[in-house]
Amino acid sequence: MRSWKAAILIMIAMPAWAETPDIAGIVDDHILPGYQALAARTAGLADAAQADCTPGNAHLNTAYHAAFDAWIMVSHLRFGPSEQDDRAFALAFWPDTRGATPKTLAALLRDQDPVVRSPEAFQTVSVAARGFYALELLLYDPQFQQNEAVGYRCTLITTLTQGIAASAAAILDDWEGGYADLMRGAGSNDTYRSPDEAVRQMFTALSSGLEFTAETRLGRPMGTFDKPRPNRAEARRSGRALHHVTLSLTATRDLAAALSGGDTDLDAAFGRAINRATALDDPVLATVATPEGRFRVEVLQQSITDIRQQVAEDLGPRLGIATGFNSLDGD
């Protein structure tokens, strides 16, 4: 009964020309280099903060941007080691729909909470006050520059960057220390019982990464036509909102190419979206506040929606899989 069903399925779902993606290749060429860059650059960020924690100093700003770039390049890979011990959430808590990040940071500063004095104790603090988005407020938001407690804020920044580096190092350690082998050896372990399960995981990462960029990175500041919400743009204080769109498209383009065996149509769709993003020339998506600006952002969003459609309706069936569940599935 089962094999009969399976045979029918293969006939429907897998045309003869379909290829099984090179799982080990994706691990070695897409995933591991991404996490290696993240670990190296976040270590550099912690060093820079240790050397000089003053907001606005050029060395710290450069290190911040380099490390944040590295995170965005892997931010679609939300499975396995990044989900252990809330590491990805501790690196990147956004969107912050209820203002938890400024609230929690303000409470730490107001109370001079001694929890910041030890990196271990700091791991128990709300994820809203850890990671890149909390650091951005401390480095770039005027309300956190006026604080009298310069020494305390310095300790907070230093500990926070150490926490970022520790999370990134732990993710890389887990990948290199076993998780990469689980994916490469899909079919011979219980995490990935077949190559299909590993491919489904990667496919889910691709489609949820695209969904997040279209619906959250762009969709949140777009708001509605009557009520655009430019203040919701991601990392707008450090001018990174549009840059994140381009980076995440670049990263998911690489994964899509590997999963699709170099599908040129799909790659061209990514190329169009990236060109549109570049042409916007609006680093913090501020133009969503005007009708014509919003329209241009909507066109960019539509071009990502087109990619998502190709991925769901063309690539998925070709691989004989559909996207698995992701954290965006709730409401």
Partner 1 sequence: MIIMKQFTLAISAIALGMGSVASAQAETDKAAVLDTYANIAAAKYTDSLITAQRLQSAVDALIAEPSAEALQAAKEAWLAARVPYQQTEVYRFGNPIVDDWEGKVNAWPLDEGLIDYVDASYGGPSDENDLAVLNVVANSAFTLSGAKVDASQITPALLEDTLQEADGIEANVATGYHAIEFLLWGQDLNGHGPGAGNRPWTDYAAADACTGGNCDRRAEYLKAATDLLVTDLEWMAAQWAEDGAARTELAKDEDAGISAILTGMGSLSYGEQAGERMRLGLMLNDPEEEHDCFSDNTHNSHFYDGMGIQNVYLGAYVRIDGSLISGPSLSDLTVAADPALDAEMQDKLSTTMMALGRIKTAAEAGFSYDQMLERGNEAGEALIMGGVDGLIDQTRSIERVVAALGVESISFEGSDSLDNPGAVFQ
Chain positions contacting partner 1, by CB under 8 A: 1-2, 4-6, 8-9, 12-13, 86, 89-90, 93, 95-100, 104, 124-128, 193, 196-197, 200, 208, 211-212, 214-216, 219-220, 223-224, 226-227, 231, 308, 312-313, 316-317, 320-331
Give the nearer residue to partner 1 in terms of CB position, either 185 or 324: 324
Cβ atoms 181, 81 nearer than 8 A: no
Least CB distance to partner 1 at residue 159 (A): 15
C-beta atoms surrounding 279 within 10 Å? 11
Contacts by 299-306, CB closer than 8 A, 24 or more apart: 300/218, 300/245, 300/273, 300/276, 301/214, 301/218, 301/219, 301/222, 303/269, 303/272, 303/273, 303/276, 304/210, 304/213, 304/214, 304/218, 304/249, 304/273, 305/214, 306/269, 306/273
Give the nearer residue to partner 1 in terms of CB position, either 88 or 251: 88
Give the nearer residue to partner 1 in terms of CB position, either 200 or 253: 200
Give the nearer residue to partner 1 in terms of CB position, either 36 or 216: 216
Least CB distance to partner 1 at residue 216 (A): 5
C-alpha closest to that of 300 among 278, 276, 279: 276
Give the nearer residue to partner 1 in terms of CB position, either 59 or 237: 237
d(CA 292, CA 295): 5
Give the nearer residue to partner 1 in terms of CB position, either 42 or 301: 301
Residues for the chain: how many in total? Answer: 331
Cβ atoms 284, 233 nearer than 8 A: yes
DSSP string, 246-310: HHHHHHHHHHHHHHHTS-HHHHHHHHHHHHHHHHH--TT-GGGGSHHHHHHHHHHHHHHHHHHHH
Least CB distance to partner 1 at residue 220 (A): 6
Least CB distance to partner 1 at residue 37 (A): 24
Least CB distance to partner 1 at residue 237 (A): 13
Give the nearer residue to partner 1 in terms of CB position, either 261 or 324: 324
Give the nearer residue to partner 1 in terms of CB position, either 50 or 194: 194
Cβ atoms 203, 212 nearer than 8 A: no
Give the nearer residue to partner 1 in terms of CB position, either 17 or 325: 325
Least CB distance to partner 1 at residue 235 (A): 15
d(CA 158, CA 239): 22
Least CB distance to partner 1 at residue 310 (A): 13
Q: Where are the alpha helices (DSSP H) in 175-218?
A: 180-184, 195-211
C-beta atoms surrounding 14 within 10 Å? 16
d(CA 78, CA 259): 17
Least CB distance to partner 1 at residue 134 (A): 12
Least CB distance to partner 1 at residue 189 (A): 13
